[in-house]
Every structure is written in structure tokens, then in C-alpha cells.
A and B are shown apart, each in its own frame.
Chain A
């Protein structure tokens, strides 16, 4: 077929759908909501062709419940939504975290709270993505900055979810979701695909939450329906999967689940440093805002300001080492966000007072412009 066919003009939501299928996703359940609908639309079309299942559920809660169920049978599973639906899914995200069920939840962010502005871009679900469900829990949050990156990063989302048995939140914004860009589709053989570890023991010896049977952190996971019968609950449980309230067992479970964040950190942190080598001022940005940041940094350099960019694709776990390193060599970090200033607090925390941190916010349902960031870079 040659190169021509692998270069395509794709929409961000389309890249999300196709990248997920390339990652091995074979079960999607969702309820359409702007600006994420094209993901469901595309999957309804392509999943049946690869032997996958697409179900339009009655609502968002049913959708995430369905993907948790499907994942337990061994299928890589995904749902996609926007703010209002993401709020509804929070309870079950907690279940996926405590029951250690791999799954990917896509949230194409729009303006909130509540119904907000259905079609307009925002980045205000960044904290909710980390802490939306109650209790200490592990969750990795990825955020692409282009259509091409959406394709490859959603593959990573599945890999992380499978490797660590955690829910992964894929946060897009409306601009990335709806815009079309040229994408060179990677050859399937070029993609690194990770599958969950499955038990090697006999079914009668299987302890579903015995991390020591795995790497000490992630227990091997049996597919429902293959003879490995086990109990599953949202209550704290021991290694057999049955509920426990014994203090040491509760403590061990919560600590083991939480430790996934630290243990996974290095391999799940994706940050591009652009022109940071000699920078004396930096921009920290994610999603569509990182694109405005890249332009602003380039324009700033043209006018003699040595600016650099931290293009952040992993929001949680927060890339504090990257921030601390840059904080020790620049006179300021500018943090543009399409919210009232959410990750800027993390940037401040990770900077440990080594540099000035400046928050730039925009909440009028329009993306932050390169000019807005450029003015901030020049003023500092």
C-alpha cells in the first residue's frame, strides 16, 4: 500500500478511536455527548469489523459499568464522554481502582460546571480527573497536544492500564478532539502493545489479589469465564478477594494501590522539553494550550527572550521532577490554563520556591492565544 495510505487527514476524536483499536481495544460502551461523540460514532463503525463490540448504553453510569465488566472477561475496554458524563462515572472509577480493573476513560473536556458550554473548549477537569472519585486511589491521567499524539498516546493509555491494573483517564480538550491534522499512522508492528499479566497457577490455587504472585505490586489477573472463580468487591478485601476490615489488611491494600503511582511514575511520565536547554523563562502547558505555548516560545525567542516550553502529556502522576529541575534554572514559570488555575498549584508545590510561578487563566470558552502567553513572557 505504500506511504500514501498511511498519511491521513484525521480528526482528534477519530485518532482516539483508531488508536484505541490499534492498542487492542475490543469493547466500547458509551453514551454520546458533545464534544466526544465522534469517538463513539467512529467505533460503532470500525469495532464490528475487527470482531469487537460496540454498545450504546442507556447512560454514562451504565457505560462505565459495562466496560468494567468487559475488562474482567479479558477485553481491553474503553468509554468516552465529556464533563457531565465524567461526573457520573466517578463512582465506578473508584470501583475500577480498588478492584484493579484495567480500563480507559476518555473525557473530551468542555466548559463546566454542569452542562456548561457543550461545544466549547476548557481544561477545567484536571483536578477532577485525579481526585473525582473518593478515597486514596491510583489513576494515571494523559493529555495529548495534537491529533497524531492522540493516536500514539491512547495506545500508551491502554498499556499503562493493563500493566498496572488501573483506570487511565484520557483527557482531551474540544480543540484537539475536533480539529483535523495530518497524521502518519504508525505501522501496527511499530507499536509497543502491553497486555495484563495473567495467572500461571492452577485455578484452584488462584488468589486474585495476591500481588506477591506477580511483581509485588500488581497481582496477575484471570479472565472471568476461564475457570478461575473469584470474588470481586468494592469493599476493602484481602488477597482472596473477600471483604476485610482487619486494620493491617486494609492498610496494606490502600498502601499497595497507592504505591502504583510512584512505581509507575517513571514509565508513565511523558514530558517534552522544547528549547529549555538555555531558557531563562519557561512555559508549563498541556493540551491545546501547549500549542499556543510552543508558538509563544518561538515568537519570544525571535524577539530576544530566551523562553522554553515544558509540553506536559502526563498530568498525573504530576511530573514534579521535571518542574523542579526547570525551576532551579529559570527566573519564572508561566502556567497558562483554560481554567481558574488548577495545575499551577502543583507547579508551585514542585518548584519549592526556587522560581516565580505565574498563572494565566482563560475561561471564556476560547483557547488561550499565543499572544496572551507571549505578553506574559515579555512582562516578567
Chain B
């Protein structure tokens, strides 16, 4: 396995933390080799923000994502910038709460879910949209085990928010699995 994952959105949506949680789940708890990087600098504050994770069975030489297998898109700006860059056969997961113009890709699978809306209404706090997104991403792709994700979430989220984040993850996971099932049985 050699999978490149790009999480993109707006500074403040918690995508760098999401990248760290995903990397920790894959590396520490699922036992893969893993590298996580992110974009820094002025562009990360309010502008397009991105975190990248590479998950592999074997040693990862180069840490930068060149052709992502999975792309999460949480803002229109990120969609315009990263929406077209995905490996043939890859998966693009779009938060259509924030993205109105959804990319249509011929050789990639585009899954839309109202991630921010789910966080706001089903979980009760918009701030956990990043963790809902992680749940959805795992539900759609199965790239790491839910068990590893839960461990990584508890170790990385602020003390006292574990329960809220776990709820966010599980609701996201459920919605992701449903979306995947819908795609597999058109």
C-alpha cells in the first residue's frame, strides 16, 4: 500500500490537526509507515490551508504528496485549487456545506456530504467538522481502522472534548459508510 491523502480547506477548520490524527492512527496504532506535512505561512491563515499524509507498508522516501489518492475538500477556495488534482481512480470527498461548485471528474469518484452541517446539527458543534470529516473519510475509504482513529483522537484532542469528538467521528463514519454503499450500488 502507498496512499497519498490531501486534506484541504480554510485556515481555522482544524485540518492540520486532522492530518496529525490521521497520521498518528495509521502510524502508531495501525502500524504503517507514515509522514505528515502541511502548508505553513500566511496562506494558512484564512486562505487555503492543507495538510498531507502519506501512508505506506514500506519506508516512505519522499514526504511530499505528488498525486493524491484521496482528497478532502472543505472550502470552495480549496476546491478550486486542489479539486482537479487526484490520481485516476482516486476519491474526492467534498463538504457541500461550503462548496457549491462540485468538481466533475471523469476518472475519480466524487463523494459529497454536508460535513459542516452534520457537525453543526447532528453533533451539535461546528468546531468538530474536522473530526466529522475524518470519520467520513474513513467510512468512505477504509484507509485506517476506526479503532486506531479513536485512539488517535483521544490522544490528540483537547482534554475534556474526547466525548464530543468521538461522537463527531462516529457520526461521520456512519455517514461515510452510507455514502460509500450508495456509490457501490448505483
Say whether, besides A292-B61, A295-B61, A179 and B37 are in contact (CB < 8 Å): yes
Instruction: Kindly identify, within residues 49 to 86 of chain B, every residue whose CB is under 8 Å from any CB belonging to chain A.
Output: 61-64, 66
Interface size class of B (residues with CB under 8 A): 10 to 19
Does A301 reach chain B (CB closer than 8 Å)? no
B62 near A292: Cβ-Cβ < 8 Å: yes
B34→A9 contact, CB < 8 A: yes
Are the C-beta atoms of A119 and B41 separated by less than 8 Å? Answer: yes
Q: Which residues on A sit within 8 Å (CB–CB) of B62? A: 291-292, 294-295, 369-370
A298:B61 contact, CB within 8 angstroms? yes
Is A175 in contact with B63, judged by CB distance below 8 angstroms?
yes
Q: Counting CB contacts under 8 A, is B23 at the interface?
A: yes
Does B20 contact A9, Cβ atoms closer than 8 Å?
yes
Q: How far is the CA of A178 from the CA of B33 in the complex (A)?
A: 17
Is B13 an interface position by the 8 A CB rule?
no
**Beta-carbon contacts under 8 Å, A73-97 to B:** none
B95 touches A (CB below 8 Å)? no
Asked if B4 lies at the interface with its beta carbon under 8 angstroms from chain A, I say: no
**A contact residues, total (Cβ < 8 Å):** 24
Whether A35 touches B40, Cβ cut-off 8 Å, given contacts A9-B34, A182-B27, is yes
- Nearest to A370 among chain B residues (CB) is B62
- Residue pair A181, B66 in contact (C-beta under 8 Å): no
Q: How far, in Å, is A377 (CB) from chain B's closest CB? A: 14
For window 268-316 of A, CB contacts with B under 8 Å fall at: 288, 291-292, 294-295, 298
Q: Chain B residues near A178: list those with CB within 8 A.
A: 37-38, 40
Q: Which residues of B contact A119 (CB under 8 A)?
A: 40-41
Asked if B164 lies at the interface with its beta carbon under 8 angstroms from chain A, I say: no
Interface residues in B18-45 (C-beta closer than 8 Å to A): 20, 23-24, 27-28, 33-38, 40-41
Output the least CB separation between B24 and chain A (Å): 4
Contact of A180 with B23 in the complex, beta carbons under 8 Å: yes
A235 interface hit (Cβ, 8 Å): no
Q: How far is the CA of A57 from the CA of B62 in the complex (A)?
A: 36
The secondary-structure label for the interface of chain A is mixed
Q: A residues within 8 A CB of B41?
A: 118-120
Whether A182 contacts B33 by the Cβ 8 Å rule is yes
- Nearest CB in chain A to that of B151: its residue: A4
Nearest Cβ on chain A to B30's Cβ, whole angstroms: 11
Interface membership of chain A positions 34-48, coded 1 if the CB is closer than 8 angstroms to chain B and 0 otherwise: 110000000000000
Taking a contact as CB atoms under 8 Å apart, the answer to whether B63 and A179 are in contact is yes
Q: Check A180 against B20 for contact (C-beta < 8 Å).
A: yes
Considering the complex, give the chain A residue whose CB is closest to the CB of B63. Answer: A179
A180 B64 Cβ-Cβ under 8 A: no
Which of A120, A182, A369 is the one whose CB lies under 8 Å from B34?
Answer: A182
Rounded to whole angstroms, the CA-CA distance of A180 and B20 in the bound complex is: 8
- Note all chain B residues with C-beta closer than 8 A to A295: 61-62
Contact between chains at B28 and A9 (CB < 8 Å): yes
Which of A4, A180, A291 is the one whose CB lies under 8 Å from B36?
Answer: A180
Q: A7-B28, A180-B23 are in contact. Are A370 and B61 (CB under 8 A)?
A: yes
B residues near A288, Cβ cutoff 8 Å: 63
Complex interface: chain A residues within 8 A of B37 (CB)? 175, 178-180
Given A119-B41, A180-B23, are A9 and B61 neighbors across the interface (CB < 8 Å)? Answer: no
B35, chain A: closest CB distance, angstroms: 5
State whether the Cβ of A367 lies closer than 8 Å to any Cβ in chain B.
yes
Contact across chains for A369 and B64 when beta carbons are under 8 A apart: yes
User: A residues within 8 A CB of B35?
Assistant: 179-181
Docked complex Cα distance between A178 and B16 (Å):
12
Cβ contact within 8 Å between A367 and B64: yes
Taking CB atoms, residues of chain B closer than 8 Å to A198 are none
In this complex, which of A35, A119, A180, A288 has the most chain B Cβ atoms within 10 angstroms of its Cβ?
A180
Complex Cα–Cα for A372 and B40 (A): 24
Known pairs A9-B34, A119-B41, A370-B61; A182 contacts B28 (CB<8 A): yes
Bound-complex Cα distance A218 to B41 (A): 44
Cα separation A119 to B28 with both chains bound (whole Å): 28
Q: Which residue of B lies closest to A371 (CB)?
A: B66
A8 sits at the interface (CB 8 A): yes
* Closest Cβ neighbor of A180 among chain B residues: B36
Kindly list the 7 A-B residue pairs having the minimum CB-CB distance in the complex, ordered from nearest.
A295-B61, A182-B27, A119-B41, A180-B36, A294-B61, A9-B24, A119-B40
Q: Chain B interface (Cβ within 8 Å of chain A)?
A: 20, 23-24, 27-28, 33-38, 40-41, 61-64, 66
- Residues of A whose CB lies within 8 Å of any CB of B are 4, 7-9, 34-35, 118-120, 175, 178-182, 288, 291-292, 294-295, 298, 367, 369-370
Known contacts A35-B40, A182-B28, A292-B61; 4 additional CB pairs below 8 A are A180-B35, A181-B34, A182-B27, A288-B63
18 pairs from A and B in contact (CB 8 Å cutoff)? A4-B28, A7-B27, A9-B27, A118-B41, A119-B40, A119-B41, A178-B40, A179-B36, A179-B37, A180-B23, A180-B36, A181-B36, A181-B63, A182-B33, A294-B61, A367-B64, A369-B64, A369-B66
